[in-house]
Structure 1
Amino acid sequence: MADSIPQQRWAVLRAARLIPVLRYQDADTALYAAQVALRAGCRGIELTWTIPGVLDVLRSLRAEAERIGRTDVLIGVGTVLDAEQARSALEAGADFLVAPGVVPSLVELAGAAGALSMLGAFTPTEIIAAKAAGADVVKIFPADTGGPGHLAAVKAVFPDTLFCPTGGVTRENMAAYFRSGADIVGMGSNLFDKARLAARDTEALVAALQATLKDAAAA
């Protein structure tokens, strides 16, 4: 990791073990899901750029976190595809940026703002490119295409690289990813029960997510 990147931010994410990756078609659902993640005790939360009005959601979530005393949480923006999006996310207060592929400008902008950067890769060539760009973390995406076996294979070649598999990670299989070399995992559509989310069953959602976080901590 580059010396200019705040070590404490990475320490928070690594201790979190699991980052909710929230990708919804409306801002209200995204904000609600993020609020559930806050209540459950998540230390890192990723809001994808594909959420309508994602930067307003980020600001609202930050305000909610401060209101309830969750100043320890890191809020990031994912699915960042270019410098303009990266700059806008950082100006809105993003603590980390995530791209599905290698976007070198994201790393430069994040570093200048004291934020963390995570670049997506799948093949060894892409991992080399992400590392050459200076990414703090390499996101193996989509993780379920190769599964834990693929992660173990690339970890053997890049033992000093910090990996975050995302895409198809579940409560049931995340331990296999950790055993294969994941430092943290990203969990998206598998994070919440869809019926409970639609019903806004907050207590059940919080309890289930806390159980998932407990499993992640033990993995």
Structure 2
Amino acid sequence: MTRPIIAILRGVTPDEAVAVARACIDAGITRIEVPLNSPDPFDSIRRMADAHGDIAEIGAGTVLTPDDVNRVRDAGGRLIVSPNADPRVIMATKAAGMASWPGVMTPTECFAALKAGADGLKVFPASLIGPAGIKAMRAVLPAGCQVYAVGGAGPKNFGDWIKAGADGFGIGTALYTPGLSAGDVATRARDIVTAFDAAIQ
């Protein structure tokens, strides 16, 4: 079963990217982003897409420009995640046939991102508004709009965010930090999935 979780592999290197991605996929996390401030991110995306693109949605995070969107597409990526809501990036993403998840914090940003074509909203950093902030925004957002909490949301508090209306999560340092082995990531990924499954019971 695929969970509504995006793995954020900030700092992953091309040589480890395929194995780390596999560890996530095997645990049930099949959306994976390589932030563009990682070492050689387009190489990592290309390797992961070549190896796992048929069973996972591979892409990039910290995407700030339309040029970066096109480079991710050329590397085989299908997912664009940003820390901000730039309409140019969102529209370039949709023009390239990829999924757009811009970062938002306020209702104004949420509606602007959706108007530009965003597939879902990444509330970031979620810790600044907390579950209460998500709950308040959820009351005015369109039905069916996907809202993921990123930054401050994780295995210890999945339940609180889900009750507030979060549909899913982006998980970074709780899943991967530079230097961890694929085996380490596999263990963390399984624990995260177990915690998520428990939270939705």
Q: Report the TM range for the smaller structure's normalisation.
A: 0.7 to 0.9
Please, which of 69, 81, 87 is the counterpart of residue 98 of structure 1? 81
Provide TM-score, normalisation by structure 1.
0.80
Shift of residue 183, structure 1, vs aligned partner: 1.5
| Counterpart for residue 180 of structure 1 | 164
- Whether 1:45 aligns to 2:32 is yes
- Whether 1:214 aligns to 2:194 is yes
Question: Is the contact made by 1:25 and 1:50 (CA closer than 8 Å) also made in structure 2?
Answer: no
Q: Distance in 1 between matches of 2:10 and 2:182?
A: 19
- Aligned-CA RMSD value: 2.3
Shift of residue 16, structure 1, vs aligned partner: 2.1
Deviations, residues 127-169 of structure 1 (Å, cap 9, x unaligned): 1221221211111000111111111111112142321111122
Greater mean alpha carbon deviation, residues 166-175 or residues 107-116 = 107-116
Q: Distance in 2 between matches of 1:26 and 1:141?
A: 24
What SS does the corresponding residue of 1:93 show, helix, strand or coil? coil
After superposition, the Cα gap between the structure-2 partners of 1:131 and 1:29, relative to the gap in structure 1 and judged at 3 Å, is same
- Whether 1:138 aligns to 2:121 is yes
Amino acid at match of 2:195: D
Q: Distance in 1 between matches of 2:51 and 2:55?
A: 12
Q: Distance in 1 between matches of 2:85 and 2:63?
A: 10
Shift of residue 29, structure 1, vs aligned partner: 5.5
Question: Is the contact made by 1:107 and 1:133 (CA closer than 8 Å) also made in structure 2?
Answer: yes
Provide TM-score, normalisation by structure 2.
0.87
Q: Distance in 1 between matches of 2:169 and 2:182?
A: 25
The structure that is helix-richer by fraction is: 1
| Counterpart for residue 33 of structure 1 | 20
What SS does the corresponding residue of 1:169 show, helix, strand or coil? coil
| Counterpart for residue 133 of structure 2 | 150
Deviations, residues 93-141 of structure 1 (Å, cap 9, x unaligned): 1111111111112222222232111111101221122122121111100
Unaligned runs of at least 5 residues, structure 2: none
Greater mean alpha carbon deviation, residues 109-118 or residues 204-213 = 204-213
Q: Distance in 2 between matches of 1:98 and 1:199?
A: 23
Deviations, residues 23-42 of structure 1 (Å, cap 9, x unaligned): 11754455553342133332
Question: Is the contact made by 1:20 and 1:188 (CA closer than 8 Å) also made in structure 2?
Answer: yes
Q: Distance in 1 between matches of 2:160 and 2:10?
A: 24
| Matched residues, number | 198
Greater mean alpha carbon deviation, residues 207-216 or residues 112-121 = 207-216
What SS does the corresponding residue of 1:157 show, helix, strand or coil? coil
| Counterpart for residue 190 of structure 1 | 174
Unaligned runs of at least 5 residues, structure 1: 1-11
Q: Distance in 1 between matches of 2:133 and 2:12?
A: 31
Shift of residue 20, structure 1, vs aligned partner: 0.9
Shift of residue 199, structure 1, vs aligned partner: 5.7
Shift of residue 211, structure 1, vs aligned partner: 2.8
Question: Is the contact made by 2:175 and 2:185 (CA closer than 8 Å) also made in structure 1?
Answer: no
